[in-house]
Amino acid sequence: MKKAKRIAKVPPYLFAQIDKKREEMKARGVDIINLGIGDPDLPTPAHITSALHQAIDNPRSFGYPPYEGTFAFREAVAFWYHKRFLVDLDPNSEVMALIGSKEGIAHLFFALLDPGDVALIPDPAYPVYQVATILAGGKPHLMPLLEKNGFLPDLKKIPVSVARKAKLMFINYPNNPTGATCEADFLEEAVAFCRKYDILLCSDLAYSEIAFEGYKPLSVLEIPGAKDVAIEFHSLSKTYNCTGYRLGMVVGNREAIAALSIIKTNVDSGAYMALQMAGVAALTGPQGHLKEINGIYQRRRNIMVDGLRDLGYKLLSPKASFYIWPQVPKGYTSAKFVSELLEKTGVLVVPGSGYGKYGEGYFRISITTPEERLREAIGRLARVQI
């Protein structure tokens, strides 16, 4: 078969490879503790699942949905953004439904980039930003996220010649995979930078509701004037424990949303209407479960952070997200460490290098696993000499 050249440029999706190895070990009878993928183990709140049950029986739910999402869903997104961030959005032009934020993020690159165009991409990062740049024929310019800079990109290090050519920049705080957070001063700097060089600033806020000790992550749209240059991707996946629903949204700059809509109307037909009805229940209903799940994640974070530090691992304790990003022990690459750890202990974590070259030297732990399994993981780590 003669395949497109672009396919050869794309590495296999990180978690597909890890799943394969896990299945092999499981078949050998190994009890795997999976601290790999960030997929909430806690249930979707009952009022949302019951809204979904009702919506499935609703005769208005079975047909093709409106391309941009139902008006009720877009209005619910605007309601939630106002309540949570005091950001006002026009549901008609500044909100669009997505089939999960991954879909919208990947398609955006096709709406913005011509072959050879530059996208400013953080590294390490959610792999979709870089892969979608390549699929769209663009050139990623990597912005290293270094521990010494709090895992924030140093915008001053971007050469002016690159900034002039760049069409978009991605940022993601609370961050996957580092668990880092940012404050208003960074968002202001990013908005000013993108305004100066006429770059679309794309914020990925998938983890905004998973935060500890009262910390409240910010939306880029809280920065005055941000809508002129920015859009934000968000998702119901992590906030409402419903990754499988595939429901997300993009909000902000209307011109960028209209451009993305041209791609989307031609390649997909929108999110199932029953899910959008459940999404309305999620966004406009009680948010009390967040206190509960954040309490659970916080206890899990403490078990892992304290346990790993006691074992001599070096790491920062995240204020938000459900990821921990420790350094691999001296003498190991990320891949070698992760593979030995899995073989010797059955504990599955993700090599930092899977998130980009600046992720080398780290590994990622997801705390979407019950406390007793996390304690067991620490116990197994303690028993082996790495």
For the bound state, the minimum distance from the C-beta of residue 47 to ligand PLP, rounded and expressed in Å, comes to 20
Residue 367 CA to chain centroid, in angstroms? 15
In whole angstroms, the minimum distance from the beta carbon of 34 to ligand PLP comes to: 15
Shorter beta-carbon distance to ligand PLP: residue 89 or 350: 350
Q: Identify which of 56, 64, 92, 53 has the alpha carbon closest to the alpha carbon of residue 270.
A: 64
Q: Which C-beta is closer to ligand PLP: that of 65 or that of 127?
A: 127
Q: Of 126 and 358, which has the nearer Cβ to ligand PLP? A: 126
How many residues are listed for the chain in this entry?
386
Dump the DSSP string for 323-382: EE-PBPPTT--HHHHHHHHHHHH-EE-EEGGGG-GGGTTBEEEE--S-HHHHHHHHHHHH
Q: CB 247 → ligand PLP: shortest distance, Å?
A: 8
Residue number with CB closer to ligand PLP (172 or 369): 172
Measured distance CA(30)–CA(24) in Å, rounded:
9
Cβ proximity to ligand PLP, 237 vs 345, nearer residue? 237
Instruction: Report how far residue 110's alpha carbon sits from residue 94's, in angstroms, rounded to the nearest whole number.
Output: 19
**What is the rounded CA–CA span in Å between residue 165 and residue 198?**
9
Between the alpha carbon of residue 40 and those of residues 44, 207, 276, 358, 366, the distances in Å are 9, 12, 20, 26, 9
Whole-number minimum distance, CB 236 to ligand PLP, in Å? 7
Minimum distance, C-beta of residue 60 to ligand PLP, in the bound complex (Å): 25
Nearer to ligand PLP, 91 or 100 (CB): 100
Binding site for ligand PLP (CB under 6 A): 38, 100-102, 126, 172, 176, 204, 206, 235, 237, 243, 248
Which CA distances in Å does 288 have to 47, 240, 367? 11, 11, 21
Residues in Cβ contact with 144 at an 8 Å cutoff, skipping those fewer than 6 apart: 122, 123, 153, 154, 358
- Between 239 and 345, whose beta carbon lies closer to ligand PLP? 239
CB of 179 to ligand PLP, least distance (A): 11
- Vertex 56 angle, CA 50 and 61, to 5°: 130
Q: Are strands 200-204 and 323-324 parallel, antiparallel or unpaired?
A: unpaired
Rounded least distance, CB 127 to ligand PLP, Å: 9
Residues facing residue 324 across a β-bridge: 365
